[in-house]
Each structure stands twice: as structure tokens, then as C-alpha cells.
Amino acid sequence: MLIVPKWTSPLEAIRALSVTKESTNHWFLSVVKPLIVDAGIEPHNIYGMDETGFQLGDSGRRRVIGRKGAKRQLKQTNNDRETITSIVTICTDGSVLRPSLIFKGANLIKKWGEKNVANAS
């Protein structure tokens, strides 16, 4: 087995590879069409929400040694870092709700809201 340097990849990139033309067509034909289109639900009543978590501190890519031919190398991290959750919501009519940030904290410091360009809550 030949060992070569590699770049690590976040898990989100691997999940993105599962989105294919076939899986997208299946989603629309089996879920969206019968439950939304055929039911006559109006666009102003349809919202999409996504949340993602990110850790404070270093969680970037690293150069590592791995088996030649392997496409990805994952990096294990400690769970002792604080995680912040970001939530964004958009309506199919183009309107959006204010983004929300959720983080652990005992006190709210007013200056955290300064320079809030996204108007997040």
C-alpha cells in the first residue's frame, strides 16, 4: 500500500455528492408534486428552512498522509469546542425571515448585536 499526502474534506462536501439528477427527480415526483402542487398549496405558504452548526476555533483543512487512490480523508475533531447554530428561512415568493443564531451563553452582551449586517436575531 502506497501512502501519499492528502487534504482533508468536511463531511458536508461528502453529503453534497449524494445530490444527483435522479435523487432530485425522485424528490419532486414523489414528494413535491403530490403533496404541494397537486394539493394546490400557494407559493406564499411554502417556506424552506436550513440550519447549520459551526464550531468556534480551528476546524479547517489539514494536509495528512493517506492511502493512494482514496478520494477523501476525513478529520476527527474534539467535541469540547462551542458550537453555534445558524438558521435561515426563505419563502417561495422570495420573502425571507431574519436569520437566527443560537449559541450557548448565560448572559447576553449588548455589543454582540452591534454591526449586525444580516439583522440576525
Residues of the domain holding 35: 3-111
Q: Flag whether 118 is in a domain.
A: no
Judged against a pLDDT cut of 80, whether residue 98 lies above it is answered with yes
Q: Flag whether 121 is in a domain.
A: no
Q: How many structural domains compose the chain?
A: 1
Alpha-carbon distance of 48 to 37, in angstroms, equals 16
Q: Is pTM beyond 0.75 here?
A: no
Q: Which amino acid is at 23?
A: S
Q: Are strands 47-55 and 83-91 parallel, antiparallel or unpaired?
A: antiparallel
- Of the candidates 62, 58, 57, 56, the one whose C-alpha atom is nearest the C-alpha of residue 75 is 62
Tens-place pLDDT, residues 39-88: 999 989 999 999 988 777 665 667 777 777 877 777 666 656 677 889 99
